[in-house]
Amino acid sequence: MTVGNIPRHVGIIMDGNGRWARKRRLPRSLGHRAGMNRMIGLISRAKQSGVKYLTLYVLSTENLARPRKELDGLFNLLRKYFDDNVKKLYAQNSEVRVIGDLSVLPPDVRLKLIEGEENSPENADFCVIFAINYGGRAEILNAAKRAAEAGEDISEEKFSSLLYTGGIPDPDFIIRTGGELRLSNFLIWQAAYAELYFTDVLFPDFTDELFSSALEEYSHRNRRFGKIEDDK
Ligand code: IPE
Ligand code: IPE
Ligand code: MG
């Protein structure tokens, strides 16, 4: 499906893997594996659709308090993803970025993520941003500390440049699967004027077609940014 008015930057809160597994009487780890496979598909679809930036909420700062067993499974999936897929992204001229506090992750995972970012092409025509141990509040606090250290007067633009997402335009469209109606600490500064889209579909069931329908809905949204209709 081709749609007009494509969002430049899309964020996805990929929620519902655990419930997807429970419905099938499978362990949660298999839900996360199914979610990872779906994520791979959506990265391609987003690029084909003309999206320029895709931010994927992989793991929140709060998720780090989950049981060790679940986290170990998630880290294994990340290891595998970065080993198997990142070079394919480079080959398609896609840039890889990682946002979040990587310092507390297992060292080998941290290294893979940093290398994934460092080896990625420059001037790419598509950028995938993985939010890992990411929290909007932690990000804002970190930027505030850097601003205080610099000691200069600070503008919204300057502050934005100090966030993990420095240099990346704000998200135009945020999709959350899994039925919850909240942001759960995702891009809370950057989402000020994002269009929000919530669906009950659990992430592993969020097909390319459903993603395209969400983009189609975005194309009909009327973004006013506080102005009145005639102002445009
Ligand atoms: C989202 O799925 C993935 C992560 C938060 C890591 P969940 O694991 O939160 O799935 P539900 O919400 O329990 O179904
Ligand atoms: C949000 O999902 C985080 C990710 C999808 C990575 P959660 O399942 O952690 O969110 P809550 O706990 O329902 O708010
Ligand atoms: Mg959840």
CATH assignment at residue 131: 3.40.1180.10
Is 227 among the domain residues? no
Maximal C-alpha separation, the chain: 56
b or e along 75-100 (b: 16 or more beta carbons within 10 Å of the residue's beta carbon)?
bebbeebbeebbeebbeeebbbbbbb
Is 231 among the domain residues? no
Is 228 among the domain residues? no
Is 224 among the domain residues? no
For a pocket test of ligand 1, which of 12, 13, 17 has the largest count of ligand atoms closer than 8 A to its C-beta? 17
Q: Whose CA is nearest to atom 11 of ligand 2?
A: 184
pLDDT < 50 regions, the chain: 1-3
Is 107 among the domain residues? yes
pLDDT of residue 230: 63
In which residue are the tokens 């170990």 written? Answer: 72
pLDDT of residue 232: 52
In terms of residue numbers, what domain contains 96? 9-218
pLDDT of residue 122: 86
b or e along 34-44 (b: 16 or more beta carbons within 10 Å of the residue's beta carbon)?
bbbebbeebbe
Give the Cα separation of 161 and 228 in Å (integer).
Answer: 29
Q: Is 200 a catalytic residue?
A: no
Number of domains in the chain: 1
Is 225 among the domain residues? no
Is 226 among the domain residues? no
